[in-house]
Amino acid sequence: MRISCAPEIGCLRLDGWTNVRKLRTVLKSLIFCIVIPLFWAVVSVKAAEPERSVVQILNFSQRPNWVEPWRYSGVAKGTGSGFLIEGGRIMTNAHVVSWSKQILVRRYQDPKPYPAEIEFVGHDCDLAVLKVSDPAFYKGMESLGFGNLPKVRSTVVTYGYPAGGDQISYTRGVVSRIEMQPYVHIANRSFLSVQTDAAINPGNSGGPVIQGDKVVGVSFQGNASLENTGFFIPPNIIRHFLKDIEDGTYHGFPDAGLILAPLVNPSFKKYLNLPGEGLGARVDRIIYPFSKTHELIRPNDVLLKVGRYPVGSDGLIQYMGNRVHAGVAFDSAQHGDIVDLEIWRDGKKINVPLPVWVNREDAIEGNQYNQDPPYFICGGLVFTELSRNYLAAQGRNWRSSAKPNTLYELMFTRYLGGDAWRSRPVVLSTILNHPLNADIAVPARSIVDEVNGIKINTMEDLVRAVESNKDEFHRFRFIQGDRIEALKREAADEATKEVMNTYRVPADRRLKS
């Protein structure tokens, strides 16, 4: 019997066991020299496919000056990463494209830059999607699909364009922890995040984190106090963002507005007639002005369950194999959704259908984007809104340099409610020197309490108080030291015009729409 085969292998006659052994030898050679290399070549090509869908993003941005709000910084160039998803969109981080004037996108191993536009941005969850109008950009690219939350101790690979080079970079790492973390971009929101020892450096932000052939996260931040540690945004946050924008508007993540306290004191548990051990966390207070929440929930209610997740006495739930804060259970809800709660009150269980909404009342406590800061000038005194952005503009150590009552006004008075809370406090930002204000010694960052006898809660209050005044003087009362300063009303009008001309200020005010 003759077997035809390739010339380089030759042909064999099968005469007994000798030729059988020779055939085995040839087959082994085929396997080790051709089949196995071919297999790994195919696997390598498949493994290399995701990088063709990963792009480099160049953002040319310009930020406002929060101390002198009519001024702007120079245009700065920043870099980040992104990747193609379904619908011809590029997913990236919100912080990669913030304050953008122009965005350019570069494909894998393609020198041509393509202009891109922001389609949707979620600053609370640090995600954004871009769109490129040139159809040539998408040639040869395939969208990447999303997987599930990776398990702790499993391996992931980050793709991106970190600083220090223009070529794509791959970093393998292990998932080391999954828990709620503050999202640095917004600063006053915490969501589920995944910690890994894969390097996530500047420029990596917005790139995909891949396990197998699925995206299981978006790289977004590091921690300077930790070594070999990076964080990525998990699939549940990504899917919430994508579902939110389906109607053409991004609303954001809703809040329950509940502050939970651990319930471990056995005496207090007995006082509440709460049966069992390790069940439920106490509602300490309600911090947002949602009337329905105040109607349905009371302080000292015990939260037993959020949706299908039982709440432990430490305020944590079991979520996909991880012990995390109960707030994660609310993060699947969209703006206006109903979340079913199980509450212990007055010695019995009750079911509470709690509506949840996006809260914007605390915007000044977090970083704000893509909206110019308001200001108003009167006699060379420049007033603006107290905000985290404003204080951070004072320098890196703004927390330690800011006056305690300024931080208290920004961060804590809203918990008190009533007359103690100013929704958007006003501060004296700076003084444009003029003979009229030469003897005013009120320091910058002083909070305005009253103007002409009118309490000031917002910039609009300040403008009305000044423009409605018919007296000879404008009287400004500041919280710090209960100090009062005064300017002659008519002289202040003239001084405002003069300082605008001297300091090249285009307008005496800019208020939020």
CA distance 425 to 200: 37
Quick check: is 332 catalytic? no
Render the burial of 455-479: b for 16+ CB within 10 Å, e for the rest: ebbbbebbbebbeebeeeebbbbbb
156: β partners: 173
From 53, 81, 95, 193, active-site residue: 95
Structure tokens at 123: 């600053």
Helix (H) or strand (E) run with residue 241 in it: helix 235-244
Quick check: is 185 catalytic? no
The runs of H, that is alpha helices, within 370-450 are 388-392, 398-401, 404-411, 413-416
Structure tokens at 290: 């949602």
Q: Residue 114 carries which DSSP code? A: E
Q: Is 297 in contact with 340 (CB distance < 8 Å)?
A: no
Q: Is 512 in contact with 475 (CB distance < 8 Å)?
A: no
From 169, 205, 313, 429, active-site residue: 205
Report the 10 Å Cβ neighbour count for 431.
18
Q: Of 238, 219, 259, 210, which is closest to residue 96 (Cα–Cα)?
A: 219
- What number of CA atoms fall less than 13 Å from residue 210's CA on the CB side? 22
CA distance 264 to 415: 24
Q: Which residues contact 341 (CB under 8 A, 6 or more apart)?
A: 303, 305, 306, 351, 352, 353, 354
**Looking up tokens 């003084």, which residue turns up?**
431
Q: Of 313, 308, 307, which is closest to residue 276 (Cα–Cα)?
A: 313
Structure tokens at 379: 């006699």
Report the 10 Å Cβ neighbour count for 495.
22
Catalytic residues: 95, 205
